[in-house]
Amino acid sequence: MAASGLYGMDAVIVPVIHAVEWWSSVSAASVAGMSTADTLTVPLGGPALPQERRLVTAIPGPRSQQLLERKAAAVPAGVGHTAPIHAVAAGGGVVVDADGNSLIDLGSGIAVTTVGNSHPAVVAAVAQQAAQFTHTCFMISPYDSYVAVAEALNRLTPGDHEKKTALFNSGAEAVENAVKIARKFTGRPAVVAFDHAYHGRTNLTMGLTAKAMPYKLGFGPFAGEIYRAPLSYPFRDGLSGPDAAARAIAMIEKQIGASQVAAVLIEPIQGEGGFIVPADGFLPALADWCRQNGVVFIADEVQTGFARTGAMFASELFDVVPDLVTTAKGIAAGLPLAAVTGRAEIMDASHAGGLGGTYGGNPIACAAALAAIDVYESDDLAGRARDLGEVLVARLEALRAADARIGDVRGRGAMIAAEFVDPATGAPDATLAAAVAKASIAEGVIVLTCGTYGNVIRFLPPLSIPDTLVHEAFDVIGAALAAN
C-alpha cells in the first residue's frame, strides 16, 4: 500500500498484512541440528495468524529450550519469565513460538496488546512514522503526533475540566512524574500509597510498591515521605467502602497530617496486587477527602486504562474524577509510551525544563498510540471488554461452584481474576495458583499469576481474541485445576 506523501510523492511503503504459508518448513527445520545461526521461517503476526491452540512439541520445545539456555547465559537471572517459550509471532488471541506451537494468550503481555498484537493499523502507523523520522527529542524540536496524543488523552480521561498531558516511556516513569508534579503544585512532601499497591521498579516506585518479594527485597534504601494506608479488599476485610475509606483517612490524618500530604496515589482496581476491586464508595470518599484538603488525587491507570475494564478508564466505573491519571501499558499496543494527564493548573505548576526526558513521547510510539486509540474508539473496545468479561466470569464462576478452592472471582471487563484459597480457613493458596498456571502454560494457555500472597490468577486477554479460544482456554484451565 502506498501512502500519499508529505512531500508530494509516495513517501513510504507500509507492509501489507496477509496470511502466510504455514509451518511445514519450520517444523522440518526444528527437528534437529539447530544452531543459533539457523534461519527460521516465521509467520507474520497480526490477526491473520490462525486462531488456534496447537501443540506440536512439549512446552518448551527444542528451539525454545535453546533460547532459554542462551538467555540464562546472557541475561541476568533477575529478569525472569513466565512462559518458557521463544516467541516469534503473535496476533488475535495467540502467541506462536519458534517450535511451531500456538498458545492462547490470556495475558496480552501484561495488559499491553489490548487491541491485539501487530494490529494492522498500528503496524502501518509505525512503519510510516519510522520512514519519516525516528526521533528529534520533543524537547528540542516538537512534532505533531506527541501533541495529538496529548489532545486525545485530555479528551478521553475522566472529567471535563481543562487538562494537559506530558509523555514518558514507562508506567514507573509516569508515576514518578505524577508525584513530582503533585509535590511541585502543593509544596508538600508526603505521598500516600496503599496496601497491595504496585507502581513500578524504579527507586521511587519500588518505595510506593507494597510487595517486598520480588520487587523490593535487597534493593533499598527507598525514598522518604512515602506512607502506606490500608486498602478496601472486600473479600478479606468485609468492610463497606465508606468504612474502609474512613480507616485509611484516619491513618493519614493521625500519622502524617493532611497539611503535609501532596498526593494520594491509588490504582482504581489493583493490578499486580491481585485485581482487588475496592468496595463501592471507597474511591469517591478518598477523592472527596483529597479535594477538601488540597491533596492531589492520582489514579494509577497504567494497567486498568484503555478499555481494559469495560470503560476507557476504570475511574469512570467508580464515579471518580482524578486530578492526575497515569497511563502506559495499553496506550500504544506494545510500543513504550506512558503519560501523566491532569488538571491544567497542576500540570502547569512545574517550571520549563522540569519535566521531560530524551525519549519521552517518541514519535514512533506516538504514532502507534494514535492508531491504537483510534481502534479503541472506532471498534468500541470497551464494549468488547464488557462482553469478554461476561465470558470470563461465567467460566470462572462455573469452576468456583464446583471447587471451593476458588475463593473469589472478581474484576471488571476483561480484567478478571480468581483467588485460590484453602477452603477450610480461607488462607491464600499460592501453591495451587502456581500449579494451575504452570499446567495451563504447558498445555498451551498463557496465564499470569499475581497478588500479594501469589494466590491469584489474572486474565487479561487481548480484546481481539475470539470467544472460541477463551472457551478452549478455560477447558484447559479447568482440567489443570482438577489435576492439582
Using CB under 6 A as the criterion, which residues of the chain lie in contact with ligand PLP when the complex forms? 170-172, 175, 198-200, 267, 271-272, 300, 302-303, 328
Q: Are strands 190-194 and 261-266 parallel, antiparallel or unpaired?
A: parallel
Helix, strand or coil for residue 460? Answer: coil
Q: SS3 breakdown of the chain: % helix, strand, coil, rounded to 5?
A: 40, 15, 45
In angstroms, give the least distance from the CB of 277 to ligand PLP: 14
> Which is nearer to ligand PLP, 65 or 303 (by Cβ)?
303
What is the C-alpha end-to-end distance of the chain, expressed in Å? 51
> Which is nearer to ligand PLP, 175 or 245 (by Cβ)?
175
> Which is nearer to ligand PLP, 41 or 202 (by Cβ)?
202
In angstroms, give the least distance from the CB of 121 to ligand PLP: 23
Question: Within the chain, how many helices (H) and strands (E) appear?
Answer: 15, 17
> Which is nearer to ligand PLP, 295 or 328 (by Cβ)?
328
In angstroms, give the least distance from the CB of 33 to ligand PLP: 39
Helix, strand or coil for residue 110? Answer: helix
Integer Rg of the chain from CA: 23
Cell of 318: 467508580
In angstroms, give the least distance from the CB of 116 to ligand PLP: 20
DSSP conformation class of 240: -
> Which is nearer to ligand PLP, 66 or 303 (by Cβ)?
303
In angstroms, give the least distance from the CB of 156 to ligand PLP: 18
> Which is nearer to ligand PLP, 302 or 439 (by Cβ)?
302
Side chain identity at residue 426, one-letter code? G
The CA-CA-CA angle for residues 345, 139, 155, to 5°, reads: 45
Residue nearest to ligand PLP (CB): 171
> Which is nearer to ligand PLP, 129 or 170 (by Cβ)?
170
Dist CA 7 CA 13 (whole Å) = 14
In angstroms, give the least distance from the CB of 375 to ligand PLP: 20
Q: Which of 223, 217, 187 is nearest to 205 (CA)?
A: 223
Could you tell me if 342 and 325 are in contact, meaning their C-beta atoms sit under 8 angstroms apart?
yes
Dist CA 39 CA 34 (whole Å) = 9
> Which is nearer to ligand PLP, 328 or 385 (by Cβ)?
328
Dist CA 127 CA 370 (whole Å) = 13
The CA-CA-CA angle for residues 304, 104, 119, to 5°, reads: 60
In angstroms, give the least distance from the CB of 143 to ligand PLP: 23
In angstroms, give the least distance from the CB of 211 to ligand PLP: 12
In angstroms, give the least distance from the CB of 245 to ligand PLP: 20
> Which is nearer to ligand PLP, 300 or 419 (by Cβ)?
300
> Which is nearer to ligand PLP, 146 or 194 (by Cβ)?
194
Cell of 98: 519458534
> Which is nearer to ligand PLP, 405 or 458 (by Cβ)?
458
In angstroms, give the least distance from the CB of 329 to ligand PLP: 6
Could you tell me if 462 and 108 are in contact, meaning their C-beta atoms sit under 8 angstroms apart?
yes
In angstroms, give the least distance from the CB of 304 to ligand PLP: 7
Cell of 426: 480461607
Cell of 41: 521461517
Residue 426: count of CB within 10 angstroms of its CB: 13
DSSP string, 111-132: HT-TT-TT-HHHHHHHHHHHHH
Q: Residues 6 or more apart from 458 whose CB is under 8 A from it?
A: 107, 271, 274, 275, 411, 415, 416, 417, 447, 448, 449, 450
In angstroms, give the least distance from the CB of 395 to ligand PLP: 24
In angstroms, give the least distance from the CB of 176 to ligand PLP: 9
Angstrom distances, CA of residue 308 to CA of 147, 160, 269, 313, 465? 24, 21, 11, 8, 13
> Which is nearer to ligand PLP, 117 or 303 (by Cβ)?
303
Q: Which of 240, 263, 236, 297 is nearest to 425 (CA)?
A: 236
Indicate the helix (H) or strand (E) that contains 134. Answer: none
> Which is nearer to ligand PLP, 300 or 429 (by Cβ)?
300
Dist CA 321 CA 298 (whole Å) = 10
